[in-house]
A and B are shown apart, each in its own frame.
Chain A
Amino acid sequence: MSQTITIDPVTRLEGHGKITIQLNGRGEVENAHFHVTQVRGFERFSEGRPFYEMPSLMARICGICPVSHLIASAKACEAIMSVRIPHTAAQLRRLLNLAQMVQSHALSFFYLASPDLLLGMESDPKLRNILGVAAAKPELGRAGVALRRIGQSIIELLGDKRVHPGWVVPGGVTEPLSQEKRDKILAMLPEAYSSVGMALGAYKQIAGTFQPEIEVFANFPSNYMSLISEEEAIEFTDGALRLIDANGNIIEDGITASRYTEVIGEAVENYSYTKFAYYKPLGYPDGSYRVGPLARLNIVKRMGTPRAEKELAEFKQLVAGPVSSSFHYHHARLVEMLYGIEKIEEILADSRILDKHVRATAGVNRLEGAGQAEAPRGVLHHHYKVDENGKITWANLVIATGQNNNAMNRGVLQAARSYIKDGKFSEGILNRVEAVVRTFDPCLSCSTHAAGQMPLEISLLSADGEVMDRVARD
């Protein structure tokens, strides 16, 4: 008799998700799905609101990466205003985004994933959490708490609030940075360096013991997408999109925010409220790609900061060509945290960061604008249209987690097939299947508060000629 295993809820995850695994009469895994079960509809209910309200409204999509939404949204608004923001404002936003990268990666690695890595996939579920880690490995547990605290404290110093700061606005930021606050941030960095160094050391010691997981945790060739700077270095806040294939060949490059619709399409599966992004020219699902730390490190040629540069070289030695097992997202996240701390220090060392000109003002000078930024879990796109008064008439968002959706589902299936034989499974086995999803650090509230592809462009046929769209703008 066939059977369905349901994991509900998937825990140590940022959002509402379930996993179902279908077994056939012989106890073999037929199929498996990762279901995202929340939906809100920000792009629809933002219609009619003034565009300058968008950053603070859109930040409420996500309490984990509100900063990325603030920045992508503000950039879309600035495209509407046709302004270039002051250099210092751009650098201050870069600082804010780096601080968020540190805190969110600390959340993902320590609070959500490290119980599996440090206590064991099959360890007691009652203790398999951050408090259990803090009890069993006090130094590492406290390093994780410290890294998250430092990232959040920098956000608070810059923006006055740890979650949902109102500091980022269309045109720049509301307040310049004071010397006193700069010095406070600098004083936190030694603890940040020692904490991330400890984490990297501990991770590299244990990574080898996870070879069986590395083999089956969403380990397959795929395309990758991220922002990259003109110098081919890692870039979270500006830059343009690059897409590489499974062999590392560049298939798209220099895609600026206003052109994202040329390359990204979104498909719907009936089992998830999160859509499935794909590279349009290859269609769905062949054009599926991965985003986030693994994609970024696979794509960039350099980090641009000395310690992270060495770590990148080591990361790229893991395998020949792009690193394809999603297990290595954990490693990539630690490298990015180190980069974030180094880059924060570098930006603060330039005295121009204290400049008082931090905001450009303008009204509506274009009726459409798009902005993109890297969220901790991958690249994020905001796209708005307004009327002459600046009232939003249409909004569209493509979120990181949707872009990893196909890989997460394939990864869940790959792991389930590998671990479940003859219909037999244990709690520890199911935890391993959940742990595949955790490697991606998906943000499910983000992924379902948004969605969408430009409706005007939808006149596509599927490969077999079937009409796929019933689009009509209202």
Chain B
Amino acid sequence: MSKLKLATVWLDGCSGCHMSFLDMDERLLELAEVVDVVYSPIVDTKEFPDGVDIALVEGAVASVDDEKKIKKIRDHSKMLVAMGDCAITGNVPSMRNPIGPEAILDRAYIQNASAQAQIPCVVVPKLLRVVRPIHEFVKVDVFLPGCPPSADTFHTALTALVNGGPLDIPALTRFGA
């Protein structure tokens, strides 16, 4: 049997979900015997590949780049998992929504700069007006809440998803866990 293809992606989040994923420690090495990590911040693939079986997505959709990425991930993945509270609700990244991107950028790069005050605009992506959770852009198959979900949660959930077994998420984790 060929290995399942696993991808992990970080949109607008803090990387805490990825750290918790790595917190599986030695269990991650065991998991690598049954899945191939084909795309992730920790591997050197530059293009999101075709035919991904499970895509774990951390973070909310905050920029035009994020929006392009989440659509591509959906098109290329059989199962999409919203990993952590930011992906599911917008959480902390969406705290900027009542303020708007102009005021955020103005504070950081105009008011709080002591030299060459300007709004970055070359190569860097434009911010969306509001930060939104990923299910507002694409269909999500599994929601795995937590800030972040614990390593045990990841291990139990991934084992179930890989083997096609039952998965009782409320028994594993909750928002803010």
| Residues of A participating in the B interface, judged by any CB pair closer than 8 Å | 7-9, 11-16, 18, 20, 33, 35-41, 43-45, 57, 60-64, 66, 107, 111-112, 115, 125-126, 128-131, 134, 141-142, 145-146, 148-149, 152, 161-164, 265-273, 275, 278, 280, 283-284, 396, 431, 445, 449, 451-455, 457-458, 460, 462, 468-474
Contacts and interface: CB of A to CB of B under 8 A. Distances in A.
Interface stretch (B73-81, B104-112, B136-144): B104-112
B158 to A, nearest CB: 15
B44 interface: yes
A9 B96 CA distance: 25
Contacts of B122: 35, 270-271
B33 to A, nearest CB: 10
B19 A63 contact: yes
B76 to A, nearest CB: 16
Interface string B84-128: 000000001101101100011101111111111111111111010
A451 B109 contact: yes
B50 interface: no
A455 B115 contact: no
Nearest to A38: B12
A7 B46 CA distance: 8
B162 interface: no
A142 B124 contact: no
Nearest to A397: B112
A449 B122 CA distance: 19
A268 B37 contact: no
A37 B107 contact: no
A273 B120 contact: yes
Nearest to B29: A134
A453 B113 contact: yes
A63 B14 contact: yes
A134 B105 CA distance: 42
A44 B104 contact: yes
Given A163-B148, A267-B115, 10 more contacts: A16-B10, A33-B123, A38-B63, A41-B99, A41-B108, A145-B25, A266-B114, A451-B112, A458-B113, A468-B114
B45 interface: yes
Given A37-B124, A41-B99, A273-B120, A468 B112 contact: no
B172 interface: no
B67 interface: no
Interface in B11-60: 12-20, 22-23, 25-26, 28-29, 32, 37, 41-46
18 contacts: A9-B46, A35-B124, A38-B62, A40-B62, A44-B99, A60-B147, A63-B13, A63-B15, A128-B43, A129-B42, A131-B29, A149-B25, A164-B147, A270-B119, A270-B122, A278-B115, A452-B107, A462-B115
B92 A452 contact: no
A265 B115 contact: yes
Interface centre among A37, A38, A134, A469 (most CB of B within 10 A): A38
B46 A11 contact: yes
